[in-house]
Chain A
Amino acid sequence: MPRDTIDGRQMLGARIILKALEEQGVEVVFGYPGGAVLPIYDEIFKQNRIRHILVRHEQGAVHAAEGYARSTGKVGVVLVTSGPGATNAVTGLTDALMDSIPVVCLTGQVPTHLIGNDAFQEADTIGITRPCTKHNYLVKDPNDLAKTIHEAFYVARSGRPGPVVVDLPKDVVMEKGAYATAPRGIKRQQHKTYRPAHTPDPASINAVVDLMVNAERPLFYTGGGVINAGPGASKTLTDLVKDTGFPITSTLMGLGAYPASGPKWLGMVGMHGTYESNMAMHGCDVMINIGARFDDRVTGNLKYFSPGSKKIHVDIDQSSINKNVIVDIPVVGDAGVALKAIFKAWKARTTRPKAKAMKAWWADIERWKAKDCLSYTQTGSVIKPQYAIQRLFELTKKRDTFITTEVGQHQMWAAQFCRFDKPNHWLTSGGLGTMGYGLPAAIGAQIGNPKGLVVDVAGEASILMNIQELSTAVQYRLPVKVFIINNQYMGMVRQWQELLHGGRYAESYTDSLPDFVKLAEAYGMTGLRVQDPAKVDDTIKEMMAIDGPVIVDVCVDQKENCYPMIPSGAAHNHMLLGPEDEGEQKITGAGMALV
């Protein structure tokens, strides 16, 4: 061990910070400099173990760290300055909180004696970020730096992961203090107060399997918790599904945990999920929720949500249980550990669900599948957005492809048409729905997976929210592909205006869009444009062949809507399958108020 990692050795606060990051195994930091963090940047300059990626906006730094974290399973690290640096990071932190992504964000702060004085570039970062982080710390003594940073990593990655802010006053960073090595071993690592659940109560596992073996219409409903539990959890899930023969659906966040090419896969559930998934949610008699949180995008109107089912809920976060939906069997623990325990208990049983009932259940499902709810017709000379995304998926699926998205129709189409067979390859802003997420997330994913093919499926409106990050991609020669589904509208907004507001398209059309091909060139990257359906394949192949960042401007049908759709306030079995359904079901009353 190098001499200076020994406890008690005095070193500069900034050096302690770098040392602690190193010890936490940090390889890369996404950041943006400023006055309050200059001493830290000086230390970064003096070393070469930790790579610093200079973003172009602090929001981008957090999303990039999220993309890195989600695609690698490691903690993403951010470094920003005080005041505006910290406030710019807030959207990213909130995004990471909503989607349970482990991020440690170091923020600069004015010197301790100036805190509260409205000093230059002072913001109450701790106050501002308290509700949008899992936890935050203000370090007031250089001797506490190492310990606090180690603890921040522990809190960020354990239990239900989330963002943690460490606020660093400039004087603390410039003074000398003692370094403390990270606690090793389970015992020493144990936190004074923070003890997240890990292993579920065996009694609850037995109760789960009791329901499973007696089920007639069972359904797995899985979420991001399975992804967060690591690739092992996805593997166990896949084995369990195979052994039980139960159908499986997943939330937007959980896509890829069970392979979409698997025989039991029903597609995504929820507002823009498949008909078969939503009908199965509505009609099942045993619902096995693993690592999903009964989000309103999934349940639709709670009054009508899966009325006839016994519900099992496995979640690492006790507060997720019985929050929206009262469940019959709560299981508190890590999704991977719980899945293993359930699988073991299942195998130990001799009872199995009645074959006749299961056959009838699958017959129902096949009937729903036959509706072919994702079908669309690519005719004429205009590219259908679904077609572009489906071709993108088909042509890239042989590579190790990571798909990130922005927010809107294109995001839902990507979720519907990109069929993920592996976890950690689908990065989208689920809980917060943050436009501008996709490009920086793609940058983070590419940093973490240099050999991967990383594509941001974007909308022309969303991409402009963090377009400056193209410059980051170019600087670090990151070959990310930005695949813009350009309908010139904020498509999702336009769709809602069509359904809910009499087709009055208030401010949802973007005039004066940039020429994305020229924009790409201005940033020093390649720009491609495709308008002809017949040329979509060739353009995608060309994009993939270019060893560098590319924008593809895919000019698509401006009026296409995203189906199927559960209109707000409706039940799962009242889906709109296409425009022909719109007239029949008017969304009125309370449904209008929902977003």
Chain B
Amino acid sequence: MSSNIYEGSVPVSVLKDTDVYRHTIAVLVDNEAGVLARVVGLFSGRGYNIESLTVSVVDEDAQLSRINLVTSGTRQIVEQIKAQLGRLVPVHTIKDLTDEGPSVGRELALVKVDGTGEVRVEALRIGDIFRCNVVDSAPDSFVFEVVGTSEKIDAFIGLMKPLGLVEVSRTGVAAIARGAGGMVDDALPKPKATPKRKKATKKVAKKASPKRKSAAKKAPTSSKKKR
């Protein structure tokens, strides 16, 4: 599996139609029974792959949940996936965080390493380099909490393997677009932009403008749901 060259912001122009690429897609859904089964069933029924999937309520009042999913495929397949997600009745909004401008994605992992003596010290040293928290410590084991991109976590786990790695628990990716403005649900009244917010938009737009533009041009697929 190829990893993204630019974290969360891919100049789509560099992609060929046949390139298999990893996309992080955020989906706002109604927080109702079975909605996750619909999404997962869609992926299994149509043979798309899911590399990671997280789901959680993000707005108690509006009863909205957000699903972050990481999948990979050619451009055609990823467009299919988004269109198929868009067909699901309880889906509000879909945003391809990989295609639509820069974004950040983070994962948390709990990594248990058993060992004593030399290896134990080495594990702790590496844990330090990765800015891990030690959330459990016993005479012959550590549980590290590591936060970062999936790649960083992969790397940390790889290094722990020879040092007594016994168990890994990962959350899957939570991702969000950089810059101002939120992924609002089309159906809900839009939050009014305060002057403060506007300023922020400008700032970010300036910083990220070259990347942003190219991505926006090549990927006209908006976050709006079209069916």
Chain A residues at the B interface, C-beta cutoff of 8 Å? 126-127, 130-131, 134-135, 138, 155, 159-160, 191-197, 316-319, 321-323, 326, 332
Contacts and interface: CB of A to CB of B under 8 A. Distances in A.
Nearest to B28: A193
Interface of B: 30, 33-34, 37-38, 41, 45, 76, 79-80, 83-84, 86-92, 186-187, 225-227
B89 A197 contact: no
A131 B41 contact: yes
A332 B86 CA distance: 13
A187 to B, nearest CB: 12
Given A131-B41, A155-B89, A318-B86, A197 B227 contact: yes
B187 A319 contact: no
Given A318-B83, A323-B80, 16 more contacts: A127-B37, A130-B34, A131-B45, A134-B89, A135-B88, A138-B33, A160-B227, A192-B30, A192-B92, A192-B187, A193-B187, A194-B89, A195-B227, A197-B227, A319-B84, A322-B76
A389 to B, nearest CB: 37
Contacts of A131: 41, 45
A317 B87 contact: yes
Contacts of A194: 89
Given A130-B34, A130-B38, A323-B80, A318 B226 contact: yes
The dominant DSSP class at the B interface is mixed
A159 B80 CA distance: 18
Most buried by A among B30, B91, B227: B227
Given A193-B91, A332-B226, A319 B37 contact: no
A161 B76 CA distance: 24
Nearest to B45: A131
B89 A332 contact: no
B37 A321 contact: no
B78 to A, nearest CB: 11
A323 B89 CA distance: 20
Contacts of B91: 193
Nearest to B83: A319
Most buried by B among A130, A159, A194, A316: A194
B86 A193 contact: no
Nearest to B187: A192
Contact of B90 (A159, A193, A197, A319): A193
B187 A159 contact: no
A135 B38 CA distance: 9
A319 B48 CA distance: 14
A100 to B, nearest CB: 12
Contacts of A138: 33-34
Nearest to B63: A192
A321 B186 CA distance: 23
Given A316-B227, A319-B83, A322-B76, A130 B37 contact: yes
Nearest to A130: B41
A135 B227 contact: no
Contacts of B187: 192-193, 195
Most buried by A among B30, B80, B88: B80
A322 B87 contact: no
Contacts of A319: 80, 83-84, 86-87, 227
A321 B227 CA distance: 10
Contacts of A159: 227
Shortest 4 CB-CB contacts between residues of A and residues of B:
A319-B83, A135-B89, A318-B83, A194-B89
A126 B33 CA distance: 10
Contacts of B80: 319, 322-323
B41 A197 contact: no
A296 to B, nearest CB: 15
